[in-house]
Structure 1
Amino acid sequence: MTPDIPIEWLIDSDPTLRWQVERDLLHAPEHIWTATRARIPHEGHGARLLALQDPDGQWAGGAFFPADHDPHNPDNPGQPWTATTWTLNTLREWGLDPAVLQKNHTAERLAEHSRWEYQNLPYWGGEVDCCINGWTLANGAWLGADVTAIADWFVEHQLPDGGWNCEWINGATRSSYHSTLNALKGLLAHEIATGGTTATRAARHTGEQYLLRRNLFRRLSTGQPVADWTTNLIHPPRWTYNILNAADHFRTAALHDHTPPDPRMTDAIELIRTARHPDGTWHQGKPHPGTVWFPTDPPQNQPSPWLTFHATRLLTWWDTAHEPTR
């Protein structure tokens, strides 16, 4: 393990984080971390978020935006993060057992009542935005909804350079870092849950090469960093790309594929390592504005338990794979 980790600080956290620390950093026996994970629906952040679900299965009355969202209201800074898709993303990433939502027929209720703001399309059919479809693919696979059509959609909409771009509908032909990562995360979640298909597995691997050829943060044409947002480490990342968010995907993918870390990630890994503070923590970058149900991580420039956990887990995986053999 990376040395000098403030492990007691990480353990003294909400069950949504604590169970992952126990499993992935402390390597506690399974009965320990599963007992902590089982607390998520009953206490802390998980219980609060579940209690906010609407009778029709949605959150905040909408698929991607709250029912009362007014994009022209100057008093509403940024995207609100309370609607159904964002809330499902959060619960899934926290590790909530999907059986909790399956018992109250959330997937079925969303199929009946939730429609996308774009052209009133049915929820589990997805829409035209790559990022939205990536999250819906992951959430559907998690809850047991039939999202096969969305997985096939990604095969059909992969761009010639190997990635995806949410602006394809407006004529974009070059891939986006943000869209590509969100597509990859959705495809991987679907593949882990269902096995995927030959075509969807090939699409994922091709899309991963798009990012790896760019070392996760460089321009292919010049080798220079794409932009400052690649190193803005924040939690939760929402829709945006950063090197920790990307590297964590590749860690999950490598474990699933039984492959070693790709050496083309080296420079990104070292940038993540240098962001570590002397006390062993990583600090919150510039988070996204917008309404949330309740805060789950600290404000900008404060030590972030979630970032510290993700970065520590990533570096432990990387460093363990690169330990010299004896």
Structure 2
Amino acid sequence: MDTIDWLLDSDPAIRHQVLRDLTDASPDVVTAERSRVAREGWGAQLLALQDPEGTWDHGTYRPGWVDESRPFFSAWTATHFSVTLLRDFGVDPHDPGVRDAMNRVAENVRWDEVDGGELYFEQTTEACVAGVLLSNIVYFGFDAARALDSILADQQPDGGWNCEQNTAVSSFHPTICVLEGLLAWEHAADPADPQRSRVREARIRGEEYLLARRLLRRLSTGGFVDPRFTMTTFPTRWHYDVLRALEYFRRARPEGDERLLEAVELVRGKADAEGRWPLENELDGPTWFSMGSGRALRVAG
């Protein structure tokens, strides 16, 4: 089967993105397919799993912090990661069912596992959480001012971000999370917003942090930072990998950059004889259901 046809023979969450990014389908066709995400397949299944109080799996981030019987480190079924997964699916934020689900989150869900217990869309927290949260806030149409200010204040001297306190050295994981959030904010912001120049400057500095390292390497030795960065992962949650970074730069710098070439060739080299990419790394922790990924064609095809 042709790879495009194989991808189209799948869930609406994949099909609408394939139609948009890899075919010449009209905007009306793409919109019609996207509208199915909230009503069929993975998107509908995940929406139906929301608790009456607005959470998913009765927790916000790591339920084990408040309930010792729950998984502590990687509860991917909790609210933060479920909302993020709906965004990854490309669910239409204006769909009435989606709007109702997100309003329940906005009105009722609090970060009970961290200090402050603030409402989900109003929390300011460490960069690897705050970056993903900013993307979710923007995508679902809530006020991003607090999250944005917190992120901009936490940028490190080297241009990136780090979740560790009292350090001037950045990390790949929080940096890609924040960059995605900043780019989402820029795309959604009013062109006259006075914050635009500040956000763009911060974003470019963050991009340079990754580009100087060719998305994979240490400045000090030139070696790979972590072999897992070279592996394809989905969903990535807050974790970094080269494909996630290339997905970001596909949107942020469509004109390209020569410092991306090694990463692109690495991803291209992972394709099998049928032009498909394996899922190499599945993050440990409970999940609602298993999924594959067709992202690589957008950056290496």
TM-score by length of structure 1 reads 0.84
Q: Which amino acid is the alignment partner of residue 162 of structure 1?
A: G
> In the alignment, does 2:256 pair up with 1:261?
yes
- Structure 2 segments unaligned to the other structure (5+ residues): none
Q: Which amino acid is the alignment partner of residue 179 of structure 1?
A: P
For residue 314 of structure 1, what is the aligned residue in structure 2?
299
> In the alignment, does 2:28 pair up with 1:31?
yes
The 3 A distance-change label for structure 1 pair 71 and 278 is farther
Counterparts of 1:112 and 1:42, CA distance in 2: 23
Post-superposition CA distance 1:255-296 (Å, at most 9, x none)? 4xxxx1011111111111111111211111121111111112
Give the counterpart of 2:267 among 262, 272, 278: 272
Post-superposition CA distance 1:188-232 (Å, at most 9, x none)? 111111255221121111100000011100111222211201112
> In the alignment, does 2:214 pair up with 1:218?
no
Q: What value does the CA root-mean-square deviation take over the aligned residues? A: 2.1
- Output aligned runs, 1:114-153, within 5 Å: 114-116=109-111, 117-119=113-115, 120-153=117-150
Counterparts of 2:121 and 2:96, CA distance in 1: 15
For residue 189 of structure 2, what is the aligned residue in structure 1?
194
Post-superposition CA distance 1:1-54 (Å, at most 9, x none)? xxx961221110000001111111112122222211111111111111111112
For residue 56 of structure 2, what is the aligned residue in structure 1?
59
Q: Which amino acid is the alignment partner of residue 180 of structure 1?
A: T
Structure 1 residue 111: Cα displacement:
3.3
Q: Which amino acid is the alignment partner of residue 60 of structure 2?
A: A
Q: Which amino acid is the alignment partner of residue 291 of structure 1?
A: P
For residue 154 of structure 1, what is the aligned residue in structure 2?
151
Q: Which amino acid is the alignment partner of residue 234 of structure 2?
A: H
TM-score by length of structure 2 reads 0.91
- Output aligned runs, 1:1-326, within 5 Å: 6-66=3-63, 70=67, 76=71, 79-100=74-95, 104-116=99-111, 117-119=113-115, 120-168=117-165, 171-195=166-190, 197-255=196-254, 260-297=255-292, 306=293, 309-316=294-301
Q: Which runs of 4+ in 1 moved over 6 A?
A: none
State percent identity of aligned pairs. Answer: 40
Counterparts of 1:69 and 1:82, CA distance in 2: 15
**Contact 2:65 2:72 (8 Å CA) reproduced:** no
Counterparts of 2:212 and 2:52, CA distance in 1: 46
- Structure 1 segments unaligned to the other structure (5+ residues): 298-305, 317-326
Counterparts of 1:40 and 1:28, CA distance in 2: 17
Structure 1 residue 122: Cα displacement:
2.7
Q: Secondary structure at the match of 1:99?
A: coil
Post-superposition CA distance 1:108-127 (Å, at most 9, x none)? 43333211111123322223
Post-superposition CA distance 1:134-192 (Å, at most 9, x none)? 11111111111111111111111100010000112xx2220000110001011111111
Structure 1 residue 71: Cα displacement:
5.6
**Contact 1:52 1:59 (8 Å CA) reproduced:** yes
Structure 1 residue 100: Cα displacement:
2.3
Counterparts of 1:101 and 1:83, CA distance in 2: 22
**Contact 2:75 2:286 (8 Å CA) reproduced:** yes
Q: 221-230 or 100-109, which moves further after superposition?
A: 100-109
**Contact 2:64 2:73 (8 Å CA) reproduced:** no
Counterparts of 1:106 and 1:44, CA distance in 2: 17
Structure 1 residue 94: Cα displacement:
1.0
For residue 324 of structure 1, what is the aligned residue in structure 2?
none
**Contact 1:77 1:289 (8 Å CA) reproduced:** no
